Chains A and B, each alone.
Chain A
Amino acid sequence: MQDIHELTIICGIDKSGDMEDVESIRICPGEIVGIVGPTGSGKSTLISDIEQLSQGDTPSRRKILINGEAPGRDIRTDPRKKRIAQLSQNMHFLADMTVEEFLKMHAKSRNRNFDTVEKVIRIANTLTGESIHPEHQLTILSGGQSRALMAADIAVISDSPIVLIDEIENAGIKKQEALKLLACEGKIVLVVTHDPVLALMTKRRIVMRNGGVRQVITTSAGEMNVCSELVKIDNYMMSLRNTIRQGGLVEEAIIV
């Protein structure tokens, strides 16, 4: 299979039918790109355009190129040939199956061995509080457990050179660990986020408004400094959250 050395977004139109402010965006392997903007500004739509490898056939009229070319129909539709993994905002499974049955079926659809199933569950359990078991029904999993399982599934079964992540901070799972798991070296990663830590961890960020791309900002040295300060605050928040979750008391304020 052909290597992916470039993903190109040829921009289209916004919700009002006007041209987007950026003509095209090129992303190379190893780069994490953020997508930011108010709710309803079209962040998830941009992600799904990429997931479908749209060819001007969605309302945004965007075209997605791989290595500078429009991908063929097979690559667009057949999961066995698809090179894109997506963690969407969906927090629940609707399939009436056990965790094991589902993962086996998914492994089959992506041409992977069944031994990946056990690995997915093991990794998912490092991201979530209460353990997931192979014999659990998918539909009884909590939002956090489902999200953890989806993330681990993407890292192992859907393991692809292009990874799309939609609001990983919303699931109550360990967001920095989850991002590290999904955004391995050499991948093209796009992260939709409202979280300042995640947004500033990226190299560039796409700014959306009214369904269109407005600008692409490169993270500055000053912003990187802000980011490392934010990580400290964030870790402090996480430790407080953990203490409260475990039924502990937090009576002393620590200034970071």
Chain B
Amino acid sequence: MKLVVVAGTPGSGKTSVLMHTIRSLKQSGMSPAVVKIDCLWTDDDKRFNRLDVPVRIGLSRDMCPDHFAIYNTEEMLQWAREQDAGVLLNETAGLCLRCAPYPDGCLAVCVIDVTTGPNTPLKVGPLLTTADVVVATKGDIVSQAEREVFRERVNEANPNCRIIEANGLSGQGASELAEIIGEMPDVGQELSLRHNAPLAICTLCTGEMRLGKEHHMGVLRHIDGFTEYRGE
């Protein structure tokens, strides 16, 4: 079983790029299954269903969607095996960007929207810096020069990644991504993350609503950079 984790900001074109990639994968004789993780609501399953592939939705509700995806990776792989799939495509919700839900041994794909400007690759963090493939979308909206500057910035942030210029409308770039997926090895047994998730577990994580500092415990960071642990 191959595992592909597709992460990126909402609206960057993850689903559109995946739809075209799934078509290419099927054409080359592979059998993909898709799990879409979201927070509260999604109808992406209907879009994926049109492609006649096994689709499953995971809604994280009160849990951080990336933590939810990480926590459920083994279950998703098990489900994909039951569907006789050769590759599991896991599309994340993509919100705070600080979590990079990529296990080792997967193909880590970061989808990023060129129109957000060439400073974005510097802001994104491990989501981009630990990716194997960076898919730059919506390049048709900007000039060639701007696409090239964006690409240069991605290279600076992650010198080892493959960059694919993709278009979710026309399908440009999808066959290249499908080719990379075809060449990757199967995922191993004992998975671990490429990058730690942010230090968390504070009172906000467990439902505290009041803002006052006196109400909070856990690993807390002040705006001046001082990080402390408060509690027993």
| Size of A's binding interface in residues, CB under 8 A | 29
B153 touches A90 (CB 8 A): no
CB < 8 Å neighbour of B163 from A48, A52, A77, A97: A77
Chain B, 88-121, CB within 8 A of any chain A CB? 115, 117-119
Q: Which of A104-112, A123-131, A186-194, A229-237 contacts B (4 or more CB under 8 A)?
A: A104-112
A96 touches B152 (CB 8 A): no
CB < 8 Å neighbour of A51 from B142, B144, B149, B175: B144
| Size of B's binding interface in residues, CB under 8 A | 25
- Docked Cα-Cα span, A79 to B152, in Å, equals 9
Inter-chain contacts of A150 with B (CB < 8 A): 143, 145
Inter-chain contacts of A93 with B (CB < 8 A): 142-143, 146
- Docked Cα-Cα span, A109 to B170, in Å, equals 26
CB < 8 Å neighbour of B143 from A79, A88, A110: A88
B118 touches A52 (CB 8 A): no
CB < 8 Å neighbour of B146 from A77, A95, A157: A95
A195 within 8 A of B: no
A57 within 8 A of B: yes
B117 touches A95 (CB 8 A): yes
B171 touches A59 (CB 8 A): yes
Inter-chain contacts of B140 with A (CB < 8 A): 48, 88
B148 within 8 A of A: yes
CB < 8 Å neighbour of B165 from A77, A90, A94: A77
Inter-chain contacts of A86 with B (CB < 8 A): 144
CB < 8 Å neighbour of A90 from B142, B151, B176: B142
- Given known A57-B172, A58-B172, A95-B117, contact A102–B149 (CB-CB < 8 A): yes
- Docked Cα-Cα span, A150 to B142, in Å, equals 11
- Docked Cα-Cα span, A57 to B166, in Å, equals 11
B141 within 8 A of A: yes
- Docked Cα-Cα span, A255 to B110, in Å, equals 61
A85 within 8 A of B: yes
Centre residue among B145, B163, B164, B172 by max chain A CB count within 10 A: B145
Cβ contacts A68-91/B at 8 Å (1 or 0 each): 000000000101000001111010
- Given known A57-B175, A106-B149, contact A95–B144 (CB-CB < 8 A): no
Inter-chain contacts of A85 with B (CB < 8 A): 144
Inter-chain contacts of A202 with B (CB < 8 A): none
> Which of chain A's residues has its CB closest to B162's CB?
A77
- Docked Cα-Cα span, A105 to B155, in Å, equals 12
> Which of chain A's residues has its CB closest to B116's CB?
A94
A100 within 8 A of B: no
- Docked Cα-Cα span, A88 to B145, in Å, equals 10
Cβ contacts B131-165/A at 8 Å (1 or 0 each): 00000000011111110111111000000000111
Inter-chain contacts of A154 with B (CB < 8 A): 144-145
> Which of chain A's residues has its CB closest to B144's CB?
A86
> Which of chain B's residues has its CB closest to A147's CB?
B143
B171 touches A79 (CB 8 A): no
A109 touches B151 (CB 8 A): yes
Inter-chain contacts of A77 with B (CB < 8 A): 163-165
A158 within 8 A of B: yes
> Which of chain A's residues has its CB closest to B172's CB?
A58
- Docked Cα-Cα span, A76 to B172, in Å, equals 13
Q: A58-B172, A94-B146 are in contact. List 17 more A-B contacts (CB 8 A).
A: A51-B144, A57-B175, A57-B176, A79-B151, A85-B144, A94-B117, A95-B117, A95-B146, A96-B117, A96-B118, A96-B119, A102-B118, A102-B146, A106-B145, A150-B143, A150-B145, A154-B144
Which 3 interchain pairs have the tightest Cβ spacing? A109-B152, A86-B144, A79-B148
18 A-B pairs within 8 Å (CB atoms) are namely: A57-B176, A58-B171, A59-B170, A77-B164, A87-B143, A88-B140, A93-B142, A93-B143, A95-B117, A95-B119, A97-B117, A105-B118, A105-B152, A105-B153, A150-B143, A150-B145, A153-B145, A158-B148
